[in-house]
Structure 1
């Protein structure tokens, strides 16, 4: 195999060890897998290895298909205990990484601990994928984790945020703002793309009738997603005479909680809503949606599903949480969180458009995804950041600021 010419540069990291909380379906986990896949597909030099604190989940086979070594501490939940920590240190000492990259709060802290096993200076980067507009809505254990992470944030060489809003919110609770680096999510634009045949495929997969405007929301069953708000918004738009049908897909959606079931039963007739559990074939039918809606009340930084829908040319409506407004640009509409009336009004507005007008809105979203969120471009930003960190280590032993690393790599500081 012929390596790219820049591989000969001594600054290029030989191995990047990613430390993630889990490999279940989720935004952070999906981005990690896409980053590894993009690097392998382009035959770039830095070899990846992934260590999951929890047992391997749904996304682990995709990593194995790339040839990326995967390891696990076999944990269930929480911060690693003595046995798991010892295993973390042993795996890191065996791998001898040139870069340690954490993913999510537990993974970030574990990456910092893993750095202790290196026996030499190894740059440690954190990756934060969550927004904190109102920390009080978070669980007590989560707030304690945020506080611990804030105290230790100066130990990281850089903190990568996929959302500029999240970077500001974390700085407000004590995360070191000088470590902040902004790299948005990226998407495989050859996999997520407009597909006229996807409409019939979607209707067949979920057993849906041909009539009606199909609105989809792809998200796990969790209070932060506020599915009930979308249900009420759909009901309002239907009461205005628009034949909207709702498709809710995601982990736990096959058997939603009592509150959501009651909201659905109260607001919508049975034929107007379809529920389905987590699926791995989203790219095959997502382009068949007429509209994509995301009703999250809090927590989103850069929702992956928005980028995926935009790449597929599907118009979107999202709540103004995290960077959603910046992500969508001209590719959709933004409404306040927890506001079913505003969601209903936005649904009415897009439902009233003819097919050509909706397709034009979707095309604007696709163009924005191409311009800003191509996974190959995002992977280059990560590689340049890592190379910059290794170069500074080899040049002198003094720790570099995140702004200096970002500047050297041509990456935006948050």
Structure 2
């Protein structure tokens, strides 16, 4: 083990999907590898999606947790934390928070460790039994970690109201590599509005389709990206037919791999979600110079600030009117907005700015 750089151990529930927490962990490791050596412990499994990230690490583990084997996995986690004796432990998501807390109980030289919460409590009834159990345990264990990192102000308020109490609670937003997203200062004809989100209740697809139907008579084109955004999906096909939309004006792109190119192909970004925590997609869109029209969910209002339009969730008429407000701007006003939203991200949501906040927290509490 190298003694030249302090070690940070990251414990994450699952390092296999493309959720906000996983993406943020990957970016944070890449950004801070010159200052720290990183060890990743995935309670469940790791994916080849993060092969490059794992190669940057001093070591990585996947413990195969499935719920039934909670005790042996917790003991293995305890063993690994004792073995590495890290400078600090950063947890990512509920189950990682809880199992790390349990694994450190009674340890004489326990490292400072920080919970990471990347979730909204807007719809707890829809959570799985496993998540509900983790939440209940979180309420009892929340005073144990050195601090709690929330990715969204709205999430911090929700969880503290729920009963998570820790005097060292901070909000550190997710960040992006600015060089991956570049503004396109040209405007498209017709004006093109983009949406990106998988087909899921939280993303508000019915309101998206109703909004597009309200604007059928306007010279506006929509590009819809995300897993399930296809006429092969029966519910999407039903919505498309219900509102009598035209494929020339509404392009369903399904899952796409090149999001920066997608952002380059549109003029403004639309988010119709009915619940969110910290919507990364808004930051990516704004980094790409796109004004955003979004529902008032999670930290959307904080992200967009005064550089876009925020409307109530489930209000298609308000969404349609906000889109028209954008469309009716002059070309110069639209281009000026592109520059302003990019500056907003450069100032607040760059990975450099965000990683500095993590490193300051790790060092101050060492």
Please confirm whether the aligned pair reaches a TM-score higher than 0.5, indicating the same fold.
yes
Q: Which secondary structure does the structure 2 equivalent of 1:169 belong to? A: helix
Aligned twin of 1:410:
none
Change (3 A) 1:276 1:142: farther
Separation in 1, partners of 2:43, 2:171 = 25
Task: Give the unaligned 5+ runs of structure 1.
Answer: 1-6, 200-209, 391-414
Q: 1:67 to 1:126 in 2, by over 3 A?
A: closer
Aligned mates of 2:354, 2:135 — CA distance in 1? 27
2:319 matched to which residue of 1?
A: 343
Counterpart secondary structure, 1:367: helix
2:250 maps to 1:273: yes
**1:330/1:365 contact within 8 Å kept:** no
Matched-pair contact (CA < 8 Å) for 1:28–1:104: yes
Call closer, same or farther: CA 1:134–1:190 in 2, change over 3 Å: same
Shift of 1:278: 4.0
Partner of 1:243: 220
CA distance in 1, matches of 2:78, 2:108: 11
1:283 to 246, 260, 263: 260
| Consecutive unaligned residues in structure 2, runs of 5 or more | none
User: 2:9: which partner in 1?
Assistant: 17
Q: Partners of 1:192 and 1:143 in 2: how far apart?
A: 37
In structure 1, how many angstroms separate the alpha carbons of the residues matched to 2:138 and 2:321?
A: 40
Alignment of 1:64 onto 2:57: no
1-structure distance, mates of 2:137, 2:147: 17
Determine helix, strand or coil for the equivalent of 2:40: strand
- Once the two structures are superposed, what CA deviation does each residue of 1:135-182 show, in whole Å capped at 9, x if it has no partner? 345445533332221121111111111211211111111111524211
Q: State the partner residue of 1:405.
A: none
The aligned counterpart of 2:360 is 384
1:214 alignment partner, one of 182, 187, 192 = 192
Q: Verify the 8 A CA contact 1:216 1:246 in the aligned structure 2.
A: yes
Instruction: State the SS of the aligned residue for 1:17.
Output: strand
Instruction: Provide the aligned C-alpha RMSD in A.
Output: 2.7
Alignment check: 8 A CA contact 1:192 1:311 kept:
yes
Q: 1:234 aligns with which of 209, 212, 232?
A: 212
Distance 1:372 1:186, change over 3 A: same
What is the rounded CA distance, in whole Å, between the counterparts of 1:146 and 1:67 in structure 2?
30
Aligned to 2:80: 91
Higher mean C-alpha deviation, range 134-143 or range 17-26? 134-143
Does structure 2 conserve the Cα–Cα contact (< 8 Å) formed by 1:90 and 1:117? Answer: no
Higher helix fraction: Structure 1 or Structure 2? 1
Structure 2 SS opposite 1:121: coil
Query: 1:122-133 to 2 correspondence within 5 Å?
Result: 122-133=111-122
Q: 1:67 to 1:135 in 2, by over 3 A?
A: closer
How far the C-alpha of 1:58 sits from its partner, in A, is 5.6
Change (3 A) 1:97 1:243: same
Conserved? CA contact 2:28–2:351, under 8 Å? yes
Q: What's the counterpart of residue 54 of structure 1?
A: 44
2:98, 2:137 within 8 Å by CA — same for their partners in 1?
no
Q: Secondary structure at the match of 2:293?
A: strand
- 1:73 is displaced (CA, Å) by 1.6
C-alpha distance in structure 2 between counterparts of 1:381 and 1:175, whole Å = 22
Report how many residues are paired: 363
Where 1:289 maps in the other structure, the secondary structure is coil
Q: Does 1:367 align with 2:343?
A: yes
| 1:352-399 deviation per Cα after TM superposition (whole angstroms, max 9, x unaligned) | 334432222222111111111121121111111111111xxxxxxxxx
